[in-house]
Amino acid sequence: MTPLSGLLGLVAGFAADRVWGDPARWHPVAGFGTTAAALERRTYADRRLNGVVHVTILVGAAAAVGVRRTGVIGTAVSTWAVLGGRSLDREAEAVQRLLEAGDLAGARQRLTHLVGRDTSELDVAGVARAVIESVAENTSDAVVAPLVWGAVLGTPGLLAYRAANTLDAMIGHRSPRYERFGWAAARLDDVLNLPGSRLTATLAVLLGEDHRAAWAAWRRDAPGHPSPNAGPVEAAFAGALGVRLGGVNVYAGRVEDRQVLGDGRAPDTHDITRARRLASRVGLGALVAIAPIALRRRRR
């Protein structure tokens, strides 16, 4: 596969995601999740080593599939399957419309499609904050980071990244079952998301409405966030939009007091539209930014 065909595949897959979003049925990521859950029944033990084996098998298999999916069409289909920008935007818009209709209860319920926190007691500002944080973080995870790895490693990089990210969502969270077994998935996801999150934050600074505030929030507030990758992205979005994100979240009875991000006002419903527009610009900016990287890849 030539560098140019790889780039054309990434562009075509990006465009397909923008137009159609995720397939409604038979999504490859869902199929991967089913496979991972089945393998877990054989590999699980409350030890880090078992988690390392589990992740190695699945991420390695995804990369191996990517080796066979070369050329413009193979790369385009893989990119379309991996990216999630359009579906993210649809979910954010769905919550926004419920808020605009005055249906706070419905917005709280629909928000559970985007976040893992307890939404049952959130007010309008709390719902808006959660949506904007999810849009920011998932623009990095589901759009920018996969484009980066697709540019650097081609289709194997795309599929391996999505496999690692999916495993983090499945077993990377802290719980009695996954404290040790999920350690490898969480650490691998942190490493793989580092370049994408920094590019996302940089683009939010450059393409946002308030460049100075976005840069200031990133530098000042991101280090206090519990996630090394979500922190810079959410802080940059907060500053760029002139809103205040972060604070206290509740997860199944567990209270997490996060760093406050930005020094603006509390977000409202209209700010969801602004965050969605910023995310769209960041996605396009990422595609432009990774083009030179993709073109410099050696011929395979």
Q: pLDDT digits over 2-17, tens only?
A: 878 999 999 999 999 9
* pLDDT higher than 70, residue 299: no
* pLDDT higher than 50, residue 271: yes
> Mean pLDDT throughout 51-60?
98
Question: Residue 298 — pLDDT band, cuts 50, 70, 90?
Answer: low
In sequence order, the β-bridge partners of residue 256 are: 249
Exposure on the CB side of residue 58, measured as CA atoms within 13 A:
32
Q: How far is CA 247 from the centre of its chain?
A: 20
Number of residues assigned to the chain:
300
Output the pLDDT for position 267: 98
Break the chain into its structural domains and give their ranges: 3-296
Q: pLDDT digits over 244-255, tens only?
A: 999 989 887 788
Burial of 112 (0-12, 13-18, 19+ CB in 10 A): middle
> Mean pLDDT throughout 103-128?
96
Output the pLDDT for position 234: 98
| 50, 181 Cβ separation under 8 angstroms | yes
| 125, 267 Cβ separation under 8 angstroms | yes
Output the pLDDT for position 27: 82
* pLDDT higher than 90, residue 300: no
Q: pLDDT digits over 133-148, tens only?
A: 999 999 999 999 999 9
SS3 string, the chain, reads CCHHHHHHHHHHHHHHHHHHCCCCCCCHHHHHHHHHHHHHHHHCCCCHHHHHHHHHHHHHHHHHHHHHCCHHHHHHHHHHHHCCHHHHHHHHHHHHHHHHCCCHHHHHHHHCCCCCCCCCCCCHHHHHHHHHHHHHHHHHHHHHHHHHHHHHHCHHHHHHHHHHHHHHHHHCCCCCCCCCCCHHHHHHHHHHHHHHHHHHHHHHHHHCCCHHHHHHHHHHHHHHCCCCCHHHHHHHHHHHHCECEEEEEEECCEEEEEEEECCCECCCHHHHHHHHHHHHHHHHHHHHHHHHHHHHCCCC
Q: How far is CA 18 from the centre of its chain?
A: 15
Q: pLDDT digits over 169-188, tens only?
A: 999 988 899 999 999 999 99
User: Angle 111-117-118 (CA atoms, 0-180°, nearest 5)?
Assistant: 85
Round to whole Å and give the CA distance between 159 and 154.
Answer: 9
